[in-house]
Structure 1
């Protein structure tokens, strides 16, 4: 059996679609993580900034799965809108207008996000998101 390596653009398209579906389904036990994992390098690292409810470094597909579980508990939906990608070899800059809906409060947060990513051999090796207003993320997730 042969496998075809995805282009960077195809990997990102697949990753964002899988992430959106996983969050909407509520995370673990409700939707498979396999589609997300298929986009990840075994050594992938996600760096979430201090001050966010899900801050820290999340290592490997297992770490990303734990992170996605936290995101699935926090957010009812995450939509990446008006997304633009700049791809330069393995380095990627993704700019998005993002619409979050908090699971507990129902609050809607529309904001901007920039993600610096690395993709090698059709697999994501690093993700470093920057939220325009991290305090708004925390506020949206607070009890009503």
Structure 2
């Protein structure tokens, strides 16, 4: 097995472990897949759109997302990995309409941890129409 393939498979394994833990509600295991300085980049046109920094940012986003998306029904359709990058095609129902939101999550993995997660939405219409959450 080449070094690139090994890195590719390790990166894929980290992302798949994170999704598996998320489906099971195992927050501790999800967090163990993230680097301390992880960046989660949500598109600015979404009501929760911004860059979330670190594990505190992850927890802040985790509080907001259930207002918009049914995380218990997340479906990972497939993953594509190459070196330290992994793309996952994901679907999650909108809590208000039940419509499936479909998007790609692009992950960068370094030293066995996710350091960046950037989202690309296919059709966010049901989410875009919603108001932004009030700052607390």
Question: Quick check: TM above 0.5?
Answer: yes
The yes-or-no answer on 1:74 pairing with 2:68 is: yes
Unaligned runs of 5+ in 1: 1-5, 23-31
Assess, with a 3 A threshold, how the Cα gap between structure 1 residues 74 and 95 changes in structure 2: closer, same or farther.
Answer: closer
Aligned twin of 2:86: 92
Aligned twin of 1:121: 111
Aligned twin of 2:123: 133
TM-superposed CA distance for 1:75, in Å, is 2.8
Give the Cα–Cα distance (whole angstroms) in 1 for the partners of residues 93 and 88 of structure 2: 17
Aligned residues: 122
TM-score w.r.t. the length of structure 1 is: 0.73
TM-superposed CA distance for 1:19, in Å, is 2.6
TM-superposed CA distance for 1:87, in Å, is 1.2
Aligned twin of 1:50: 44
Give the Cα–Cα distance (whole angstroms) in 2 for the partners of residues 124 and 92 of structure 1: 10
Whose strand fraction is larger, Structure 1's or Structure 2's?
Answer: 1
